[in-house]
Chains A and B, each alone.
Chain A
């Protein structure tokens, strides 16, 4: 177990180092280099040389890379010359809002998907199962942005129940003051996650129900609801734990699209506007954060799986 964990940890560190190299190279091979990107198209060769000297950009590439990593390790993700603010301060404002949006949607969809997946497994191949499978397949094949547009068209433009724009505000507390406006972005994300999770949960519960320990529990006369709560639920939750770790990149991607469509002021929207404004330091800073979170999520999913399921022994 310890050997496996050490191996997995080393593996993750190597991937994170690889990501920093890729991001560093992207940052330094921009059209015209960082000096041109910051000083603008009218900068003269003299001002560019002075800028490069001042910021150490005339050093050899490996030295610059080490400086860059040194800054990253000190928590300095870069500086947005377009917005004249550090990337750290931008993320400190926007990251909590994104984590809230993605987190609450994830939580609600798990709470709905777990009982529905189990119900489908119990009534396998009946009307209820076929109906719910159809619904989740339909939702699963819908592109995020198309589902979001449908939500706006039906629930906002036609029925006029919810506002089409997410709540605005610089801090999370300000965003939370307008819960009605939060409904559409959260609902869209919940529906998309639900489609994915209920499919996993159904498959996992079907597998649990076929195990011998369920037969034992039934034969010793345990009531059905206790079998479900104690044996089926706990054993089928295992893949969901892993799924949380592995679905992080997918959650971030869906989050970006949702934030752009509903104008939700989180990191996804920040990333989108930075791409429009050619604000590379912000884009690459967010990319690093997402990559590290993804790698950490994969690592935690593997560890959680090994800890939760004693049958799994890695060599």
Chain B
């Protein structure tokens, strides 16, 4: 454990140099068991998807119809799909795009939302009203409908998917940060910046945003889970990354054609994997919220 967990050190640290919000809260509360389980699952999933293919070599591009729809057995621990692709190997490759897009969307959406919300809350008044109505307009059309409209003309590339998914996900962090920013701007340390002649940009970047960091971190964790989930739905409906890319949603979609043939290995491993990864991110988010949000204690 860190030195902050011992009470005598906590006092010493607070006196010599003010410890940050994270360090101080860790001295009193530890991350919950469920949060640790979530973190362990996330690390395991990353190892499985990114390190796994280095040891478990499969081709997910060249189809092999002679080996299609094989049940789990020797050579194929989880069987093969209708193109003869090895399911275990495909789970790894498909997970790469899910985790990469999930993390990128969380990063892009959260940073956009944070800047948008901090500015709206800091200025208040007309600016705030205008910026928040834009948020309301985007929220009025459910994300899946927006995504299908935007994906109608051509199958998206990975970059386009990240941008579009982020465009539909930054509204929640912006609302959260705006709320905190509204109250922070009346606090003395922010007003002091203005009294000392500091610009608005300095107040927002150096003083308002750092004080919302616990809200931001918690929300970013949930954003990853949401992005992975909506990406899976999109791929399932056939509007995700186009072939030959392997996606978890696409695997479920392919496998669902063979439900009545009893090819359970084509839907259960991938479905369970999606649920486990999404739940793991939600566990971690809940645990971080308990850890960082002082008001909940």
Contact = CB atoms under 8 A, between A and B. Distances in A.
A143 B153 contact: no
20 contacts: A14-B133, A15-B140, A18-B134, A31-B153, A31-B154, A141-B275, A142-B275, A145-B252, A146-B271, A149-B259, A157-B259, A164-B259, A250-B142, A275-B148, A275-B149, A275-B151, A275-B239, A284-B149, A294-B140, A294-B141
Contact of A149 (B238, B239, B252): B252
| Interface size band for A | 35 or more
B141 A149 contact: no
A43 interface: no
B284 to A, nearest CB: 13
A141 B279 contact: yes
B275 to A, nearest CB: 6
A98 to B, nearest CB: 13
Contacts, number: 111
A271 B148 CA distance: 9
A143 B152 contact: no
B238 to A, nearest CB: 8
B291 to A, nearest CB: 20
Nearest to B264: A153
Nearest to B236: A145
Interface stretch (A58-66, A185-193, A206-214, A251-259): A251-259
Interface in B231-267: 232-233, 236-239, 249, 252, 256, 259-260, 262, 264, 267
A240 B262 CA distance: 40
Contact of A271 (B145, B262, B278): B145
Interface residues of A, dominant DSSP:
helix
A113 interface: no
Contacts of B141: 19, 22, 287, 290-291, 294
A308 B193 CA distance: 44
Contacts of A295: 140
Contacts of A150: 271
Contacts of B140: 15-16, 18-19, 249, 291, 294-295
Q: Do most interface residues of chain B lie in helix, strand or loop, or is the interface mixed?
A: helix
Q: 3 closest A-B pairs (Cβ-Cβ)?
A: A18-B137, A249-B142, A291-B140
A26 B145 CA distance: 13
A278 B275 contact: no
Given A143-B232, A143-B278, A283-B149, A149 B267 contact: yes
Interface string A196-225: 000000000000000000000000000000
Contacts of B143: 253
B37 to A, nearest CB: 14
Interface of A: 11, 14-16, 18-19, 22, 26, 30-31, 141-146, 149-150, 152-153, 156-157, 164, 249-250, 252-253, 256-257, 260-261, 271-272, 275-276, 278, 280, 283-284, 286-287, 290-291, 294-295
A247 B225 CA distance: 19
Contacts of B256: 149, 152, 261
Given A30-B153, A145-B233, A260-B237, A18 B136 contact: yes
A290 B142 contact: yes
Contacts of A250: 142
Contacts of B264: 153
B282 A141 contact: yes
B144 A253 contact: yes
